[in-house]
Structure 1
Amino acid sequence: MKALKTAVAAATVSAALVAATSAQAATANANLSVAATVGSACSITSGSLNFGSYDPLVVNASAGVDLLASGTLTVQCTLLGSAVLTLGQGTHPASGSTDAVPLRRMRNTVSTDFLDYFLYQDVTRLVVWGNTAGTGLPYTGTGLPVPVNVYGTVPRGQNIPSGTYNDTVVATLTF
């Protein structure tokens, strides 16, 4: 019984102390400002476009057909970020070539001969792809990598020597 009385007395004292402490407690509030800035970011992964074999005597002769090909670049920009994808004139542009109207050429790897070609934004090959805001491809970011097709033609009727022809075109994202 004595232990029970002692326990009850201790509980009573504890309750009184808690009540006294609670009665003396006070609070104060303040706001914590939280902020972040999400910047625009874009990346581009290079690709390739291979026209294959050009036959200036039969298939791609003046009465023949243009040589067609397509390649893919991969573009990724922050969600809803806007950008313009442009393609440069290439390493070997023809005389009179401009960023707005590029006259691209591939060069023979063992001579100074050239093979003309054009790059387009659309599968119908009507919109020439240039290196200006007005001739580039507008792009809106999804946050995910997106493949972007590049279409090309090598015009028929080019009388050139046999060999391997190549060029390098710089793709640029402006955002």
Structure 2
Amino acid sequence: MQYPASNPVPVILLLCSTMAPAQQLTVQSPTELTVQLAESCQLSGAAAGGNFGTLNFGSFSQLPQPVQVSSQVSAGSILLRCNLGVNFRILINKGLHGSSVATRQLKEPMQGATLSYQLYQDPQRLQIWDDSSGHGAVATGEAQQFDLHAMLPAQTVAAAGQYSDTLTVTISW
């Protein structure tokens, strides 16, 4: 069959490919992530502001026998959180009025009178909490509470008034 020259001839082309379908290639390479955590400790709770609270012996007119108290959270206890496994030490100095940790003193500011007292690491009050060896421990990674155990021995009270002392707590690791 012949078509007039002015009419286009329809042509159908079929293309066949012998190429395989495109393959997806995966390249894997390890990437290493690292972080270095420095050993650290921080005060927890109210102590984070630098104040452990007040350990209060109470109110007495005489001291014919020893008075013993133990601290609580926000009332003298030390709350500390260090990285897991950190070896740390808590030291407590002689205070403002004692001449050594063995002779800590509470002082009444108006009369200048003093009362002897002592701080201990243990409830039995056998181990004085000092500023050289102090109390050592290994951190759990969680907040840890360290209580102060204090004793005001029997003694003659020289003057009525409010007796106090201020201690410095040092934490080293």
Alpha-carbon shift at residue 34 of structure 1 (Å):
2.2
Contact residue 50 and residue 70 of structure 1 kept, 8 A:
no
Aligned length: 149
Contact residue 111 and residue 159 of structure 2 kept, 8 A:
no
Consecutive unaligned residues of structure 1, counting only runs of 5 or more, are: 1-5
Which residue matches 1:79? 84
Q: How does 1:42-57 map to 2 (within 5 A)?
A: 42-44=41-43, 45=47, 46-56=52-62
Identity in percent? 23
Structure-1-length-normalised TM-score: 0.74
Q: How does 1:1-175 map to 2 (within 5 A)?
A: 16=19, 19=21, 21-22=22-23, 30-44=29-43, 45=47, 46-56=52-62, 60-61=63-64, 65-71=65-71, 72-94=77-99, 97=100, 101-132=101-132, 134=133, 136-175=134-173
Consecutive unaligned residues of structure 2, counting only runs of 5 or more, are: 1-11, 72-76
Give the partner amino acid of 2:145. Answer: P
RMSD (Å), alpha carbons: 2.6
**Greater fraction helix:** 1
Structure-2-length-normalised TM-score: 0.75
Give me the whole-angstrom Cα distance separating, in 2, the residues matched to 1:143 and 1:40.
11
**Greater fraction strand:** 1
Contact residue 89 and residue 135 of structure 2 kept, 8 A:
yes
Dislocated runs of 4+, deviation >3 Å: 25-31
